[in-house]
Amino acid sequence: MSSSLNKERLKETDFYRVATEETYQKLNTDAKGLTEEEAQSRLETFGENKLPKEKGDSALKRFLAQFNNALIYVLLGASVLTAVMGHFIDTAVILGVVIINAIIGFIQEGKAQKALENIKKMLSLEANVLRSGQKTELDATKLVPGDVIMLSPGDKIPADVRLIGTSNFQTVEASLTGEAEAVYKFSKRIEEEAVLAERYNMAYTGTSVVAGTAKGVVTSTGSDTELGKINRMLSETEEITTPLIRKINNFGKKLSIAIFIFIGVVFLYGYFLTGFSLTEITLAVIGLAVSAIPEGLPAILTITLAIGVQKMADRHAIIRQLPSVETLGSVTVICSDKTGTLTKGEMTVKKIFTKDRHYEVEGSGYKPEGNITYDGGTVDAKEDASLQRFLQAAAVCNDAEIVEEEGTYQVNGSPTEGAMRVVAIKGGEDIDVPRIASIPFDSEYKYMATLNDVDEKRIVYFKGAPDKLIELCQYQMGVEEKETIDSEYWNRKIEEGAGEGHRMLAVAYGEVDSSKETLSHEDLKEGMIFLGLAGIIDPPRPEVIASIEECKAAGIKVKMITGDHVLTATSIGKQLGIGDGETVLSGGELEKMSDSEMNQAVTDCDVFARTSPEHKLRLVTALQANEQICAMTGDGVNDAPALKKADIGVAMGLK
């Protein structure tokens, strides 16, 4: 094993397209992990696994920066002139206005400065590593490429990792990719080129494990990770001045030039043509210059903007820079992330398909409130045998828990399983029965199953990919009794739900021998009964639809830029009234566009799916190239570069 890894070659390698054994070879490691000596050598080569900490501006420099605009320069010049003329009260008033303006801006920026450092906190603190075949807990900053690590539920992933073994492994990547659902991961090689959100054999730093276990090889650390790339992109993105500041600077420059020209003409005329003494004409032009300077303007602007900041604070919006209030009023287009901004960021079962009925589910998110309806009326599950059994399966074949904290409901476990738990509670069938055995979800089999003791019978409940469960089941449950499964019917329902952007999840059950104590895949091949399908989606926030209508009425365009699936983006866009309900551009299509093509695309299209942080940044830049005043909203790290580049960036929510 050698430490002579080529850092640049590693950066160029798409490890998701590399087989497990080849991954070991490229990283000069093996299943036992690195030796301590080798790890130390690589640590010296690659550096610690942490993001570079840039030295921020000192408090003094940030305070002095508040004076950096043309109008302030003019006012400072006026204060000097009034002092020379002996008008010390005027001098004090002008300086007071300038200093108060600087203090307000300095304090307001200080309140929000800490939020920009939160990206650093996303890195894991510890990692379980194999060194020479021995499992050890290690400070995550000491990880190096080639380290073999173990991942478990609740872990923050400490580096970018090529997975080499998984068991029911799921991660939440919403902050990095915008994907609302927990993502099932596997270890097999992906042959085709894939966007970040579809590299299912990779796990990325800053994301977290919600279910299952995995073993992986570290492929990149620190600033070479995907999170590090975003951090680098963020530091390289230049903030632009607000429209108000640009106008003030422009006005200040023009005013200064006009004043100097005017007093120059007056000085020449008075001194050479009218016979005034040098002292007299100097005092006269100083007086003219002072009277021409609108020293009250910055005060009025500062007070007006401060009032705006206070009103925004009352609505729980923190304004980092005073002029941003005016920018907000000048916006012509709003680019919004989907997950957690336009939607709740909480998976919800909205549809249930059984053999004979199509149910709608009220409510959204993890709050277990809302009815299950059919044909406009509320349904009692106890009077509907197929629905009752469906909800029982949703509750029993489930490892998630719904927890209430101060009126807010959260899910412990997979968001998808959380959605199934909630719909069971809504239907009054969140039963608690003994679990005898289980088969955890595996990407190869695409389902989870549990063996339970129900009313002195041994019942197998299982849920998973619809195509897999249709293949396993011989029967389906109708209104009265079981019947031979109608695969064509269920495939039509799968297409119907998927076409509306829902993730379709199938549920089935079967009765086995009462003495059964174990559960295997072979037990699911006889007598299994298909119960139905759940349509799951991250629903739009109810208040967002009205807000979008208000924006349209005000002449503001709204564009959705998300990392989610194309079908999901299309469905949510249609529900929210964004776009024409049909035209959607994917990240893969954006990747191939030139800057000029991108400039045209942002004019023609309002919904963009499967986008990366780089795509979001390019889209904002393209809008600005079209002379749009662009606001960008988002709640994930993947939105950060675009938030910084936009004319006004709006970081959303508490997440």
Catalytic residues: 337
* Residue 384 CB contacts under 8 Å (≥ 6 apart), including other chains: 357
Name the token pair of 62: 């940030």
Pairwise CA distance, residues 204 & 218, whole Å: 10
Pairwise CA distance, residues 375 & 104, whole Å: 58
> Hunting for tokens 């508040």 — which residue is that?
66
Longest Cα–Cα distance in the chain = 120
Type of residue found at 47: G
Write phi, then psi, for 173 (nearest 5 degrees): -120, 20
Pairing state between β 333-336 and 557-561? parallel
Q: Does the CA dihedral 366-370-373-378 come out positive or negative?
A: positive
Pairwise CA distance, residues 413 & 442, whole Å: 16
Residue 206 three-state SS: coil
In this structure, are residues 284 and 264 in contact, taking their beta carbons and an 8 Å threshold? Answer: no
In this structure, are residues 534 and 351 in contact, taking their beta carbons and an 8 Å threshold? Answer: yes
Tell me 159's DSSP state.
S
Pairwise CA distance, residues 339 & 563, whole Å: 8
Tell me 564's DSSP state.
S
Write phi, then psi, for 139 (nearest 5 degrees): -60, 125
Type of residue found at 576: L
Pairwise CA distance, residues 237 & 512, whole Å: 61
Pairing state between β 457-464 and 447-454? antiparallel
In this structure, are residues 37 and 45 in contact, taking their beta carbons and an 8 Å threshold? Answer: no
Closest CA to 568 of 504, 624, 642: 504
Integer distance in angstroms from the first to the last C-alpha of the chain?
43
Name the token pair of 216: 């992986």
Pairing state between β 607-609 and 557-561? parallel
Type of residue found at 142: K
Alpha carbon separation from 495 to 350, 361, 506, 533, 568 (Å, rounded):
16, 19, 13, 11, 13
Closest CA to 539 of 502, 564, 505: 502
Write phi, then psi, for 452 (nearest 5 degrees): -130, 155
Q: Does the CA dihedral 406-408-413-419 come out positive or negative?
A: positive
Question: Which residues in 38-58 are b (16+ Cβ under 10 Å) and which e?
Answer: bbebbbeebbebbbeeeeeee
**Residues paired with residue 476 on neighbouring β-strands, in sequence order:** 483, 530
> Hunting for tokens 């009023």 — which residue is that?
329
In this structure, are residues 562 and 583 in contact, taking their beta carbons and an 8 Å threshold? Answer: no
Name the token pair of 316: 């729980």
